Amino acid sequence: MEDFQAAFNERHRDVIALHEKKRLIASMHMGGIAVECLLKAKLYEELHPNTKGYKEWYDKEKKIPVGHTICNPGHSLVSALRSNNRLYQRVSPNHLYVLLWLHKIENPECHFIDMRYIGKEPDESKYTSWYDAYRKLVGWLLTQRF
């Protein structure tokens, strides 16, 4: 069973440890994964706990009833945010900086999932900007309650 909140907690700790060791590419890669887990945890938070099968993703092709129609957004942070209507409404239009942070986390040099294939650390100023966006986005997401 996927536990996105626990996964976020652990990946966030990894980001901080990697940041402190100046393992910048790994920090960016893990940061994207951490945000993905936190967004998915927020999606599950939105579902009513009595919804049958609420801990499963809806499958469009098989049309398997699970009590909701939220499909797994995969590794797309923007899709994960948009899948959560209440959370996404808080972004538009007064908090558009959240989308800027999200895009920076999702595509720091390439998609965050593909960062694991980069063999050279990024420019320090680029990483600093990324890490600032990461901290702000995670902080903002953690304050969102429903």
Query: Is residue 20 included in any domain, yes or no?
Result: yes
Residue 61 within any structural domain of the chain? no
Question: Which two tokens mark 51?
Answer: 């919804």
Give domain status of residue 99, yes or no: yes
On whether residue 63 sits in a domain, the answer given is no
| pLDDT (0 to 100) of residue 139 | 96
pTM: 0.85
- Residue 58: per-residue pLDDT: 57
CB atoms within 10 A of CB 122: 18
Residue of 30, 28, 17 lying closest to 132 (CA atoms): 28
Label residue 47 by pLDDT band (50, 70, 90): low
The residue among 50, 47, 36, 51 whose CA lies nearest residue 4 is 36
Q: How many domains does the chain have?
A: 1
pLDDT, average across residues 9-21: 98
Q: Which residues form the domain of 84?
A: 4-48+75-140
Please report the pLDDT score of residue 82 as a whole number. Answer: 86
